[in-house]
Structure 1
Amino acid sequence: MEHAGKGFITSIERFKPHTFQAELGEGLFMSHSHEHDELTLILDGEGYYSSQEQNIKVSKGDLILIPSKLHHGFVCTKPWQGISVHFSYDKVPAYSQYLFLNAYRQPVRIRSSRLNDEHMSWAELCLSQMEKEWKSDEKRDDSYDLMRIAFETILLLFHRNTATLQAPTEKTSDREIVQEVLKEIHQCYNTPITINEIASRHFLSESMLRKKFSEILGISPKQYIINLRLEEAKRLLQQTNKAIDYISSEVGFTSSSRFYDLFVKSVGVTPLEWRKQNQHAH
């Protein structure tokens, strides 16, 4: 079966040991930017990543996230090697999108996380599996799932090893509650969750949660879940050859007919028509 495409990844590159000559001077930090986001793991050596406001020292075990279109530069000071993945944020799976909401609280900055030895080995294994699946000429539909799981694992390792300093508060703010609700939704959007269940976990009535959620995000939690399911369905339609009814169930719709109706209402064409129009638009 022909694979639908390479999905959310646009490139995976390994950089090998090298150093620059000192006489190159400031040219070492000549900035550039990418149309896509970048995730880089330093496997060995040392160096610096820089942007207009930052100059971050990195070494073995550092995991680096660079937002798209951010001008940045880098220099190796001790022979280094690593793996870089460039990807399209708008095509990453739903839970990964939530993780990036946290990672890019300051979207114009480079973010880094220091992994311990065990987590570095885990991240390298995940990146190697992603690289193997992405470069394979014999892709299957489970290739997408393997890359998704590996990608989410790396992002979770990034968050686990990033120190987050927050001032203690006596009362959880509405924005913090909505942030936690978003996390739950992105984790469980493909299960038969209800707004009432989510609200009860935060000691709120359903109507109060709807009010807080809508005030902050401009959309009801129910519609947010529907939109998230539809966006994930579109990614699966474009990036895999999975059957449409299977995709409907996988993203959380219990009724195929409801999925079709909501998809047509949102997109204007049927899932099959949308797939034909977009599956090879890479």
Structure 2
Amino acid sequence: MSDMARGFITSIERFKPHTFQAEQGEGLFMSHSHEHDELTLILGGEGYYSAHDQNIKVSEGDLILIPSGLHHGFVCTEPWTGLSVHFLYAKVPAYCQYLFLNAYQKPHRLWSARLDADDRSWAEMSLSRLERGWHSEETSDNSYDLMRIAFETVLLLFHRNVVVAQDAELSSDKRIVQEVLKEIHRNYNTPITIHEIASRHYLSESMLRKKFSEAVGVSPKQYVINLRIEEAKRLLRQTGKAIEFISSEVGFTSSSRFYEQFVKSVGVTPLEWRKQHQDK
């Protein structure tokens, strides 16, 4: 698959079974950092991941999220196998971005989730589908969409296994904003209105706008527009889909409205932007 179609993925690697003997002392931990983000599924064996004051024991079925730039180490105590996806957070599709929001509010730490047998099987199948797409020479838009769906599936499995512990720490206002963000990222490509979202949370539109703007920095309406533009940019760069199709896919009701908002936000037309960035 071409670099353009791979989009947000930088590499996919499988562990080779290995272990280290205790007499190696501090050499047990293979410490490093990297510019990309990492999501790793442990398929077998046991070991530890460490970062700062964290030391997390991991075994079969665990998913580990490692933000870019985080200096971390690992050690295998029982020969293990696993599958790691290295990706660029800034390039992931829109709904995937929401699934990372909680983790990236506190980027200087490791995150892990323990999957049960069914979820572990589902995650492994999805990562294997992603891996096949990565190695495939096929460059159609369908192959890109299959990779996106596979990645999104793994993130959903990760997200639902860590979200309860994280949400317990949220205040009422923050929890509302989190739910609104979730709703926006899930439905940004539909004709949603801020009035409808506010009503579902038993708030006036002005009150929701105030809470959201204080927490996020922009109004809910502008956040939706920004999200649609960013997703359009990803599709322009990573696929060969027609501009009119992209306009509809990201939620604009007309091509003229899409062109107007794109030029206002980016400074050039969608076609000009695609020519400038598609091969990068």
One fold, TM greater than 0.5? yes
Distance in 1 (alpha carbons) for counterparts of 2:38 and 2:132: 18
* Residues 207-240 of structure 1 deviation map (CA, whole Å, 9 limit, x = unaligned): 2211221222221111110000000000001111
Amino acid at match of 1:5: A
**Cα distance change, pair 206–13 in 1 and its aligned pair in 2 (3 A):** same
Shift of residue 257 of structure 1? 0.7
Distance in 2 (alpha carbons) for counterparts of 1:229 and 1:81: 38
Amino acid at match of 2:187: C
Which residue is 2:101 aligned to?
101
Task: Give the TM-score taking structure 2 as reference length.
Answer: 0.95
**Cα distance change, pair 151–167 in 1 and its aligned pair in 2 (3 A):** closer
Which residue is 1:71 aligned to?
71
Which residue is 1:87 aligned to?
87
Distance in 2 (alpha carbons) for counterparts of 1:165 and 1:221: 23
Shift of residue 165 of structure 1? 6.2
Which residue is 1:138 aligned to?
138
SS of 1:158's partner is helix
Moved more, 50-59 or 221-230: 50-59
Task: Give the TM-score taking structure 1 as reference length.
Answer: 0.94
Aligned length, in residue pairs: 279
Which residue is 1:123 aligned to?
123
Matched, 1:233 2:204: no
Conserved 8 A contact 2:4-2:279: yes
Conserved 8 A contact 2:5-2:144: no
**Cα distance change, pair 181–280 in 1 and its aligned pair in 2 (3 A):** same
Distance in 2 (alpha carbons) for counterparts of 1:139 and 1:192: 30
Amino acid at match of 2:261: L
Moved more, 21-30 or 194-203: 21-30
SS of 1:161's partner is helix
**Cα distance change, pair 166–228 in 1 and its aligned pair in 2 (3 A):** closer
Conserved 8 A contact 1:3-1:139: no
Amino acid at match of 1:103: A
Amino acid at match of 1:257: S
Amino acid at match of 2:250: V
Which residue is 2:213 aligned to?
214
Distance in 1 (alpha carbons) for counterparts of 2:166 and 2:243: 44
More helix by share: 2
Conserved 8 A contact 2:17-2:79: yes
Which residue is 1:47 aligned to?
47
Distance in 2 (alpha carbons) for counterparts of 1:196 and 1:226: 15
Moved more, 7-16 or 48-57: 48-57
RMSD: 1.8
Amino acid at match of 1:60: E
Shift of residue 168 of structure 1? 9.0
Distance in 1 (alpha carbons) for counterparts of 2:30 and 2:38: 17
Amino acid at match of 1:276: K
Distance in 1 (alpha carbons) for counterparts of 2:166 and 2:207: 29
Matched, 1:7 2:28: no
* Residues 163-202 of structure 1 deviation map (CA, whole Å, 9 limit, x = unaligned): 5166599xx6222211111110000000000011001001
Conserved 8 A contact 1:3-1:240: no
Shift of residue 161 of structure 1? 2.2
Conserved 8 A contact 2:38-2:85: yes
Distance in 1 (alpha carbons) for counterparts of 2:80 and 2:217: 46
* Sequence identity (%): 75
Amino acid at match of 1:215: E
Which residue is 2:25 aligned to?
25
Amino acid at match of 1:254: T
Distance in 1 (alpha carbons) for counterparts of 2:22 and 2:2: 49
Distance in 2 (alpha carbons) for counterparts of 1:180 and 1:211: 15
SS of 2:34's partner is coil
